Structure 1
Amino acid sequence: MIILGLDPHPSTHTAVALDARGVVLDSLSVQNDCDGLNQLWLWSVQFEDHCWAIEGAGNRYVAPLLALLCASEQSVYHIHPSLTSQYRARRGKKKNDLVDAENVARVLLANPQLPPYQLSTQRTRLQELSRTRDKLAQQRKANQMMLEALPDTTAASLSTALQAVLTSLEAALKELEHAMATLVAQVAPSLLTLQGIGVVLAGTVLAEMGDIQRFEDVHHFASYCGAAPVERGSGKNTRWCVNVGGNRQLNRVLHLMALTRLRCDERTKTFVAKKEQEGKTKRAALRALKTHLARELYRTLQASHVGGPIPAPS
């Protein structure tokens, strides 16, 4: 099996062909337009038995290529940028598109258990809504802080302008949240029954998770969320450390769920208190709670989403 590693960008795509031994066979850089995609397709067909490893396959500027590959029933694998950076760090500090494309292919070569990428218009839409909302929320916070920091001597026109921007951002956020609520209700309304999860966090989960069936069990899901501790040992010394990897958006969802339950749920307060009595610090107890919440989230998703791409609205 030949692996075609792709480093995509809004203006260009760079691909490297890697054989099963890890030997680079060929490479190609094209413009991200119709002519470039045709060149990339003609280049790929010379490799009879091949699959694609694409860094950030969910990005919007990869959509035209993904549509072409899926229509031709090509095998496509999504490679998270953090994995690419890990392989680049191991092999040297040099970085360019060719190096990244090669490392994308090497990630798949070293991790053949990665699940194939499943194209879903609804999941892509949720990603766009979720990430756009996060950016607008950051802008709203920044503008709110600017408004509050204005001295009393500031011209009224400036305060009025900032307030108008805030009002516009609030309206845009409400519109995005309404669209997210519609999709969440269609895909997995049971998520909203979990304490600590609202429309925004539910949309983030569905956008970042993809198909729940791609996780072999609850432990793999917790690890993907960065909520499973990592064993680090040598000889007789063994300890469990914080997992700084995983999907940070999902980890953030678990963190916010944990904070909400610590305020409102007596069982959660008892759980954390028990962990502290066992000798854990407050932070360690919170990490244990996030692992517990990841398991609850997995069971809920398994029950509500059978598998395959997120279904289209009926």
Structure 2
Amino acid sequence: MTETPAAVSLTVYAGIDTHKHTHHVALVDALGRRRGDREFPTTATGHRQLLAWITGGGTVARVGIEGTGSYGASVATTLRTAGLEVVEVDRPDRRARRTHGKSDPLDAYAAATAALTGRASTVPKTHDGDVEAIRFLRNARRSAVKARAEALTQLQATVVTAPEPVRDRLRPLSPTALTTTCAGLRPGPVVPGDPTAAVETALRSLARRILDLTDEERTLHAHLEALVAHTAPDLLDRMGIGVETAAQLLITVGDNPHRIRTEAAFAHLCGAAPIPASSGRTHRHRLHRGGDRQANRALYIIVITRLAHDRRTRDYAARRTAEGKTRREIIRCLKRAVAREVFRLLTTTGDPTSP
């Protein structure tokens, strides 16, 4: 580790390799020469020390941070609050690491170089508003839904292998009736040689877990619906956009949606924009399989819903089918159009038209 010289007039670029317990910071000057690196704890005091160290090394032009959506979220907020320009740095790929090696100082210098050259230019999410609250609630709700589905699957599987009297009584019931019935079981004491009481105890435990998770999911959904309606009411007014899809699209753009400058950039972020795949005299585009796949899924759900219930969308699909387009190609076109519509709703006060 080397210390940076105190040169206030020097323009420097900082890079931060983030971790759970420590952050490693490096500085380079405008010519890419290394000025020093140092490690700081991921505490409020550590963040203040980090800020003082990089600003003491010169005039900070830009800070590149790895993982601004996870380990680097807190330090990014601290630096942004101090008035510094912060950009998101992608982690080095495996090929680069095989070539140049891997260490915290190397990754920090790579992040600083990316900030210097402009290779890292993405403005990170601020993680400080209602959208961040929506993200927490949605993650908790999805976890509850997943756990409930797993518990219901286990409940039904337990019935299949239960002793004959228990199986015959419960097998004809629907999932809802099965859960209610099992939650009301009154098994006797569990004793060796009689598996019936143990099975009924397990069934009651699983059923009550399902009911608790159902109540939890409904409570979280109510909070989520209220926040989404407050944050983006125009989004919920659109055909095919419900609370879940609206929440995902809000999470994708973050609390600072204007960091995404164009609707084409938003479509690319959602994986809904074709990318060039031309070579020589062959000029073509292919499907973009990158981007935020959850946002892409949200666009797909909106399109499928509109194809089923929106007359204008069905008319568009019929017209494109007559032109020789396949259903998959039509869905891709509609996803691109929905991305354009959603972007305008999230970043302007205009009234875009939907396909």
Report if aligned partners of 2:21, 2:42 keep a CA contact under 8 Å in 1.
yes
Instruction: Return closer, same or farther for 1:144/1:98 CA change in 2, 3 Å cut-off.
Output: farther
Report if aligned partners of 1:127, 1:208 keep a CA contact under 8 Å in 2.
no
Normalised by the size of structure 2, how large is the TM-score? 0.74
Aligned to 1:309: none
Instruction: Return closer, same or farther for 1:282/1:112 CA change in 2, 3 Å cut-off.
Output: same
Q: What is the DSSP-based 3-state SS (H/G/I as helix, E as strand, rest coil) of the residue aligned with 2:214?
A: helix
Report if aligned partners of 1:5, 1:105 keep a CA contact under 8 Å in 2.
yes
Q: Which moved more, 1:136-145 or 1:189-198?
A: 136-145
Q: What is the DSSP-based 3-state SS (H/G/I as helix, E as strand, rest coil) of the residue aligned with 1:246?
A: coil
Report if aligned partners of 1:124, 1:207 keep a CA contact under 8 Å in 2.
yes
Q: Report the alpha carbon displacement of residue 230 of structure 1 after superposing the two structures with TM.
A: 0.4
Aligned to 1:56: 67
1:240 equivalent to 2:240? Answer no
Report if aligned partners of 1:190, 1:304 keep a CA contact under 8 Å in 2.
no
> Which of 212, 218, 221 is equivalent to 1:177?
221
1:139 equivalent to 2:147? Answer yes
> After superposition, where does 1:104-123 map in structure 2 within 5 Å?
104-108=111-115, 109-111=117-119, 113-115=121-123, 117-118=125-126, 120-123=128-131
Q: After superposition, give the CA deviation of every residue in 1:23-61 in whole Å (9 maximum; x if it has no partner).
A: 5443333322244334423331233222222233243x5
1:205 equivalent to 2:249? Answer yes
Count how many residue pairs are aligned between Structure 1 and Structure 2: 299
Report if aligned partners of 1:15, 1:101 keep a CA contact under 8 Å in 2.
yes
Distance 1:66 1:229 in 2: 32
Normalised by the size of structure 1, how large is the TM-score? 0.82
Q: Report the alpha carbon displacement of residue 229 of structure 1 after superposing the two structures with TM.
A: 0.5
> Which of 13, 18, 22 is equivalent to 1:12?
22
Q: Report the alpha carbon displacement of residue 173 of structure 1 after superposing the two structures with TM.
A: 1.7
1:32 equivalent to 2:42? Answer yes
Aligned to 1:290: 335
Would you identify which runs of 4 or more consecutive aligned residues in structure 1 move more than 6 Å?
none
> After superposition, where does 1:155-304 map in structure 2 within 5 Å?
155-210=199-254, 211-304=256-349
Distance 2:30 2:272 in 1: 33
Q: Which moved more, 1:269-278 or 1:292-301?
A: 269-278
Q: Report the alpha carbon displacement of residue 63 of structure 1 after superposing the two structures with TM.
A: 5.0
Q: Structure 2: 5+ residue runs without aligned partners?
A: 1-10, 163-198, 351-355
Q: Which moved more, 1:241-250 or 1:207-216?
A: 207-216
Q: Report the alpha carbon displacement of residue 289 of structure 1 after superposing the two structures with TM.
A: 1.4
Q: Report the alpha carbon displacement of residue 100 of structure 1 after superposing the two structures with TM.
A: 4.2
Identity of aligned residues (%): 29
Aligned to 1:310: none
Distance 2:137 2:79 in 1: 25
Q: Report the alpha carbon displacement of residue 209 of structure 1 after superposing the two structures with TM.
A: 0.5
Aligned to 1:65: 75
* Letter aligned with residue 15 of structure 2: G
Report if aligned partners of 2:77, 2:126 keep a CA contact under 8 Å in 1.
no
Q: What is the DSSP-based 3-state SS (H/G/I as helix, E as strand, rest coil) of the residue aligned with 1:29?
A: strand
Q: After superposition, give the CA deviation of every residue in 1:47-92 in whole Å (9 maximum; x if it has no partner).
A: 3222222233243x5454344324422222234xxx32xx424523
Distance 1:95 1:281 in 2: 47
Aligned to 1:91: 96
Q: Report the alpha carbon displacement of residue 290 of structure 1 after superposing the two structures with TM.
A: 0.7
Structure of greater Rg: 2
Distance 2:96 2:333 in 1: 35
Distance 2:327 2:103 in 1: 43
Q: Report the alpha carbon displacement of residue 198 of structure 1 after superposing the two structures with TM.
A: 1.4
Instruction: Return closer, same or farther for 1:284/1:104 CA change in 2, 3 Å cut-off.
Output: farther
Distance 1:186 1:107 in 2: 38
Report if aligned partners of 2:272, 2:288 keep a CA contact under 8 Å in 1.
yes
Q: Report the alpha carbon displacement of residue 285 of structure 1 after superposing the two structures with TM.
A: 2.3
Instruction: Return closer, same or farther for 1:42/1:217 CA change in 2, 3 Å cut-off.
Output: closer
Q: Report the alpha carbon displacement of residue 98 of structure 1 after superposing the two structures with TM.
A: 4.2
Distance 2:309 2:108 in 1: 47
Task: Select the structure with the greater relative contact order (CA < 8 A; seq sep ≥ 6).
Answer: 1
* Letter aligned with residue 188 of structure 1: A
Q: Report the alpha carbon displacement of residue 20 of structure 1 after superposing the two structures with TM.
A: 4.0
Instruction: Return closer, same or farther for 1:19/1:151 CA change in 2, 3 Å cut-off.
Output: farther
Q: What is the DSSP-based 3-state SS (H/G/I as helix, E as strand, rest coil) of the residue aligned with 1:28?
A: strand
Distance 2:217 2:118 in 1: 41
Instruction: Return closer, same or farther for 1:165/1:98 CA change in 2, 3 Å cut-off.
Output: farther
